[in-house]
């Protein structure tokens, strides 16, 4: 099964995305970020995070939570989370960080009408949040930008910053996902950079089994790795409680790799 999974996924690419290099002019960058926001809204990105929070908050009686969003991009997911929380009677205060000042400037503009969201510069690999400073730390479409060693360092530090759980939402590498993303990028995206980076992001992404192994190296307890439609994965690393679900893969001892439909 593990061999078949590797064959279907193909090797992970180390080619850099355009978004990781010199950024285009402001207008082009805004187009890129809005294409990514479209993906999050209509191709499962935001839904993955709200699905994970629903699982984690199912038995909670608290009504307010602090959230840190790492690698926020255009801050569309923090804004969506604040709105989602209000519809459920929850007050979510979201601090959103991104490494690139040009991205942060645009994200601040995009999130200006949402008082529950604050956007600032911050480095995923050098988080300055004290241990347990946030109830939840989330990250969307950021993990695949990191090398395995960087990913391990990030997972360890981000998990320490959360008092309840770390949620990592990213693409799931497979040949089918690459083809689907390429078709969507060419048909829907307006940004030249997003058309290039979209399919490459899939090739740079990790498989659920690889994410489970990274979580083991980072020493994360109570880990679940879920496949989510259409081409997403979701890592939930709790500080307490037990994972639930249906086992889908063999991963290192102490890590549960699970799937829900």
At 5, list the tokens: 């999974």
How many structural domains compose the chain?
Answer: 1
Integer CA distances (angstroms), 157 to 34, 189, 209, in order: 29, 34, 21
Enclosing domain of residue 88 = 2-259
CB 173 within 8 A of CB 211: no
How far is the C-alpha of 152 from the C-alpha of 150, rounded, in Å? Answer: 5
| Lookup result for tokens 């402001």 | 26
Q: What is the mean pLDDT of residues 142-155?
A: 98
- With a threshold of 0.75, does the pTM exceed it? yes
Please report, for the domain that includes residue 175, its CATH number.
3.40.50.150
Q: Are 202 and 173 in contact (CB under 8 A)?
A: yes
**Confidence band for 7, pLDDT divided at 50, 70 and 90:** low
Alpha-carbon span 154 to 132, nearest angstrom:
15
87: part of which helix (H) or strand (E)? helix 76-87
Residue 261 has pLDDT above 90, yes or no: no
- pLDDT value at 1 more than 60: no
pLDDT tens profile 29-80: 999 999 999 999 998 899 999 999 999 999 899 999 999 999 999 999 999 9
When pLDDT is cut at 50, 70 and 90, the band that residue 247 belongs to is very low
């Amino acid at each position: 099964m593990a061999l078949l999974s590797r064959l279907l996924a193909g090797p992970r690419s180390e080619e850099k995305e355009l978004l990781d290099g010199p950024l285009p002019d402001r207008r082009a960058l805004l187009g890129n970020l809005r294409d990514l926001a479209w993906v999050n809204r209509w191709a499962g990105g935001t839904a993955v995070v709200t699905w994970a929070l629903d699982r984690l908050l199912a038995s909670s009686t608290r009504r307010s939570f602090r959230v840190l969003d790492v690698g926020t991009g255009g801050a569309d997911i923090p804004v969506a989370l604040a709105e989602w929380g209000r519809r459920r009677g929850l007050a979510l205060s979201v601090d959103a960080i991104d490494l690139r000042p040009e991205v942060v400037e645009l994200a601040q503009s995009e999130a200006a009408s949402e008082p529950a969201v604050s956007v600032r510069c911050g480095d995923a690999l050098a988080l300055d949040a004290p241990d347990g400073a946030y109830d939840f730390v989330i990250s969307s479409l950021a993990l695949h930008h990191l090398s395995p060693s960087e990913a391990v360092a990030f997972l360890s530090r981000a998990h320490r910053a959360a008092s309840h759980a770390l949620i990592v939402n990213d693409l799931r590498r497979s040949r089918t996902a690459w083809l689907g993303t390429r078709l969507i990028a060419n048909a829907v995206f307006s940004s030249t950079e997003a058309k290039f980076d979209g399919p490459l992001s899939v090739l740079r992404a990790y498989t659920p089994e690889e994410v489970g192994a990274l979580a083991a190296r980072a020493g994360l307890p109570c880990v679940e790795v879920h496949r989510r439609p259409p081409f997403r994965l979701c890592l939930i690393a709790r500080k307490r409680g037990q994972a639930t679900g249906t086992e889908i893969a063999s991963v290192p001892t102490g890590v549960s790799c699970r799937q829900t439909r």
